[in-house]
Amino acid sequence: MTTTPINHPSCSDDEEHDALHVNEALRRMLEAVSSVKGYEQVGILEAAARVLHESVVSPLDVPSHTNAAVDGYALRGEDLPGSDSMAKMRVVGLALAGKPFAGTVLPGQVVRIMTGAPMPAGSDTVLMQEHVDIDEDYIGVTGGRHRTADNVRMAGENIKRGETVLNQGRYLTPPDVGLIASLGISEIRVKRRPRVALLSTGDEVHQIGRSLGVGGIYDSNRYTLHSALKRLSVKVMDQGIVPDDSELLREALTRAASTADVVISSGGVSVGEADFVKEVLSSIGSIGFWKVAMKPGRPLAFGNIGASTFIGLPGNPVAVMVSFYQFVLPLLEKKMGILERPVIPTLKAKCIERLVKRPGRTEYQRGILERTHTGDWLVRTSGKQGSGILRSMSLANALIILEHDRASVEPGETVEALPFAYLM
């Protein structure tokens, strides 16, 4: 009796059978998830990299008072001399940012004033100290070069009381924190952190510190992912390593999904006899898709276990990292409640070596990006590009993105490069 062998698709096939274009895969993932519910009140020193639960409204005008924009002399604009004439005015006091002038500026008088000091009563103009002649208690002012209201910052000129300064859903940056502090606000409401459960699978995967058996490898994926997740506003729940046992995997995923908003596994999503993720996910949840037309990282399972989002990443270390930054990062940003994804720019660079590729899938090669003295960008690979060679990521400073329909790249051709500086 003869049997017909079953040919499972692999990364070496000429066609990516049933595999989604990377853009379609990402679109489906983002459509399937929503922001976490709930918030917490935090002090502004804890607010950086968090996401606003509600908009920040200014309780005051900024600046809160009309003040001097430069060091100089405050006076009445109507006292400025006309063209081709000069006026001599008496200095009657000093105004500092913390100690304003208490009197009123009268005709023919000026007040020495420092940047940020409130404008004295009666004055509406500041002359820069470099633009006057100083003679003991008097200054000389030449006409024709000054105008009323010069060098004055009006109250509310930057921000008005009641104005929305930061919108709900904003990912808070250090300048945002400083802006909030400038409004006298000490605490704000931010989205709660999504809970992310993280686990590795495979009999061959070993915890660091234990001796390796034949065919064993140390678990790098959990450490890579944990480090990447630490840069996000998420709470990581480390679930350790799960052996190649469908029942143990079922228990681990069910337990993780009971408390996590997102469950991320690495390994076990291919079609080998010991790859159980797809089978288990089908029994306890649902599968949205499990193949993407990309290299590295074609086997990628996406679905849900109850209310928890599930992402099954490949087992190869480079594929894990590429898949994380292509898919998991934007998904988690939406889970965090970010309404506008931070801009991640790419560069056009001249490739200085031949890159082998066939059309039909998007490829991410690890590259070393350099800038010439003329300002042009050059890129080359960081060495061997196997999806298990984690050193190719460590040596690289960018990903070379080769589009879905593109074929091999010849030296001198332009490619798209994504610098790691914007990701890691």
Instruction: Give the predicted TM-score (pTM) of the model.
Output: 0.87
Span 240-271, pLDDT tens digits: 999 999 999 999 999 999 999 999 999 987 76
For the domain covering 67-153, report its CATH number: 2.170.190.11
Contact 191, 38 (CB under 8 A): yes
Determine the Cα–Cα distance for residues 144 and 266; give it in Å rounded to an integer: 74
For the domain covering 22-36+193-336, report its CATH number: 3.40.980.10
From the list 154, 177, 163, 206, the residue with the least C-alpha distance to 52 is: 177
Q: Which fold has domain 41-62+165-191?
A: Molybdopterin biosynthesis moea protein, domain 2 (3.90.105)
Q: What per-residue confidence (pLDDT) applies to 397?
A: 96
Q: What per-residue confidence (pLDDT) applies to 232?
A: 93
Q: What per-residue confidence (pLDDT) applies to 272?
A: 60
Q: What per-residue confidence (pLDDT) applies to 17?
A: 66
Ranges under pLDDT 50 in the chain: 1-14, 274
For the domain covering 347-422, report its CATH number: 2.40.340.10
- Residue ranges, comma separated, of all CATH 3.90.105.10 domains in the chain are 41-62+165-191
Q: What per-residue confidence (pLDDT) applies to 311?
A: 97
Q: What per-residue confidence (pLDDT) applies to 14?
A: 47
Q: What per-residue confidence (pLDDT) applies to 213?
A: 79
Question: Which amino acid appears at position 417 of this protein?
Answer: A
Q: What per-residue confidence (pLDDT) applies to 269?
A: 79
- Residue ranges, comma separated, of all CATH 3.40.980.10 domains in the chain are 22-36+193-336
